Amino acid sequence: MATSLCKVEKDFKYRRILENHNNTVQDHKIYFNPLLHIVTLIIWVSALTLIVLCTIFAILRLQGNTETKQIESSTRPVSGKTGDPTKVLSCYYNFPSEIVSHELMPADIHPYLCTHINVAFARVVNKQISLEKHELTTLQEVVKLKHSNPDLKILLSVGGAGNDNGFSEMVINHASRKIFIKSIKYMLRNYTLDGIDLDWEFPALHGLQGSGRERQHFSQLLREIRMEFIREKRDYILTIAAAAPQIIVDVSYDIDQLNQYVDFVNVMTYDYHYYTKYTPFTGFNSPLYPRASEQLYLATLNINYTVQMYLSKGLDPSKIVVGVPTYGHTFTLVNQNNHGVSSPASGFGSLGALGYINYPQVCSFIANFTSDTTIQQDSEAKVPYLYNYKEWVSYETPQSVMEKAQFIKQNNLRGAMIYSLNADDFEGICKHEDSHSNKFTLSLSVRNTLMCSNCSKI
């Protein structure tokens, strides 16, 4: 129908060009002919009507297409107890170590804090999802949170930093992907999970033989998982965790395929700066915007750039879930008098472990060493940092993560991802007078800003 209408219009346009041509040839003979004017008017009106009709038709068809696509990778509403049901707050929960005490246990996660909990991380071993016994027990404990909040979605997250070994041999052909998909189905069914989150860091990046096709193979995997979910008539959720730096994004993902097959993308918009031998400078873990002094590549290492980059590559805003860290990075300054951003650093800080520090540790450090600690707010990057002699720390506060949540709302993105619940203040050490609850203050700040203006307090 649409095509035939448009064809009529095209033929019509073509005739008019011919007619115009004839008219100019005959112009000198026609001085004034009212009939001709009326006819011309009628022709113009019909032409305009046809164009309008065709445009409407084209738009309707486009919408139809996106609708069918969205059935595949559906934008299902997800909801907490209150608030905007279309927004996502997807929170990573890491398996507690069996040896360390004071770890966050599943029963201590507030069931209404997040819309999605990604239990992390399972590995890929022999093309199958692999978990240790104690991890399976933890997974079952997390699923029990659904008794308190039936709307809460629990996903199993596969991969994670340094856990990418099994992916390459698994994606390489249809047969091995099939083994993996079977193990996904088994896990989802047998542990009554709501979906799977793939954290391959990163497809096509390690430079091994055959990695050139990995991006394509990864897209095929996503497609096959989605098709299997549809075939099973289950509304399982499929998400991925994706890189923030453009140099990785360019290599690892087919953005149009992500639009088609995943429910949303957890963008890891953190670790923009941390100490390495090659980057021996202080810098922000998760700056919202660049600082004016940053140029070229350095000006790309911030949330705003990453989000605009994904949007300009065509990733739908409804697929973008922006990562918000609860942990910070620590540095040791070369010279304690040179304590600004981008100052020379000689290594990780002494706080935390291997340069990573949890939010409650930051609070307790500030409380213990108030007089020697200087706290600065960077008005451009919208994050704080602190220094104390040679210790330098980039971290987040309820204020800085709230600004990230506001950015997410302003840009109409799908939501926020928290990495991780474990590094948030789950024991209530930070004691913010201004907040109703003293626990999970960073995640809560994101939740309250993102999901609702007047949330039921938790």
Ligand X SMILES: *[C@@H]1O[C@H](CO)[C@@H](O)[C@H](O)[C@H]1NC(C)=O
Measured from the CB atom, is 201 or 403 closer to ligand X? 403
Question: At residue 308, what is the residue type?
Answer: Q
The gap from C-alpha 72 to its chain's centroid, in whole angstroms, comes to: 19
Q: Is 141 a residue of the active site? A: no
For position 454 contacting ligand X by CB under 6 A, the verdict is yes
Measured from the CB atom, is 4 or 190 closer to ligand X? 190
Write down the least CB distance from residue 183 to ligand X, Å.
11
For position 406 contacting ligand X by CB under 6 A, the verdict is no
Q: Please state, in angstroms and rounded to a whole number, the distance separating the CA atoms of residues 142 and 193.
A: 10
For position 411 contacting ligand X by CB under 6 A, the verdict is no
Contact call for residues 297 and 272 (beta carbons, < 8 A)? no
For position 361 contacting ligand X by CB under 6 A, the verdict is yes
Measured from the CB atom, is 13 or 436 closer to ligand X? 436
Contact call for residues 238 and 260 (beta carbons, < 8 A)? no
Write down the least CB distance from residue 352 to ligand X, Å.
9
Piece of the chain touching ligand X by CB under 6 A; list 83-91, 111-119, 249-257, 358-366? 358-366
Catalytic residue among 135, 141, 201, 427: 201
Q: Please state, in angstroms and rounded to a whole number, the distance separating the CA atoms of residues 61 and 44.
A: 26
Piece of the chain touching ligand X by CB under 6 A; list 2-10, 148-156, 246-254, 364-372? 364-372
Measured from the CB atom, is 152 or 193 closer to ligand X? 193
Q: 114-128 burial string, b = 16+ CB within 10 Å, else e?
A: bbbbbbbbbbbeebb
Positions of E strands within 279-423: 320-325, 328-333, 345-347, 356-357, 374-378, 383-388, 391-394, 415-419
Q: Please state, in angstroms and rounded to a whole number, the distance separating the CA atoms of residues 161 and 180.
A: 20
How many residues contact ligand X, by CB under 6 A? Answer: 12
The one among 12, 57, 191, 281 contacting ligand X by CB under 6 A: 191
The one among 304, 336, 373, 435 contacting ligand X by CB under 6 A: 304
Positions of E strands within 75-162: 88-94, 116-125, 128-130, 153-159
Would you report the helix, strand and coil content of the chain in percent, each value rounded to 5? 45, 20, 40
Residues 6+ apart with CB under 8 A from 301: 245, 272, 273, 283, 287, 290, 294
The one among 40, 176, 211, 364 contacting ligand X by CB under 6 A: 364
E strand or H helix at 195, and its extent? strand 195-199
Write down the least CB distance from residue 208 to ligand X, Å.
33
The one among 26, 101, 190, 379 contacting ligand X by CB under 6 A: 190
Write down the least CB distance from residue 380 to ligand X, Å.
8
Footprint on residues 273-292 left by ligand X (CB under 6 A) = 289-290
Q: Please state, in angstroms and rounded to a whole number, the distance separating the CA atoms of residues 38 and 373.
A: 84
Measured from the CB atom, is 225 or 303 closer to ligand X? 303
Piece of the chain touching ligand X by CB under 6 A; list 100-108, 242-250, 363-371, 421-429? 363-371
Measured from the CB atom, is 195 or 203 closer to ligand X? 195
Measured from the CB atom, is 64 or 314 closer to ligand X? 314
The one among 365, 385, 392, 407 contacting ligand X by CB under 6 A: 365
Q: Please state, in angstroms and rounded to a whole number, the distance separating the CA atoms of residues 322 and 409.
A: 11
Question: At residue 166, what is the residue type?
Answer: G
Residues 6+ apart with CB under 8 A from 129: 122, 123, 156, 158, 180, 183, 184, 186, 187
Write down the least CB distance from residue 54 to ligand X, Å.
34
Can you give the binding site for ligand X, defined by CB under 6 A? Answer: 190-191, 289-290, 304, 308, 361, 364-365, 368, 454, 456
Residues with a known catalytic role: 201
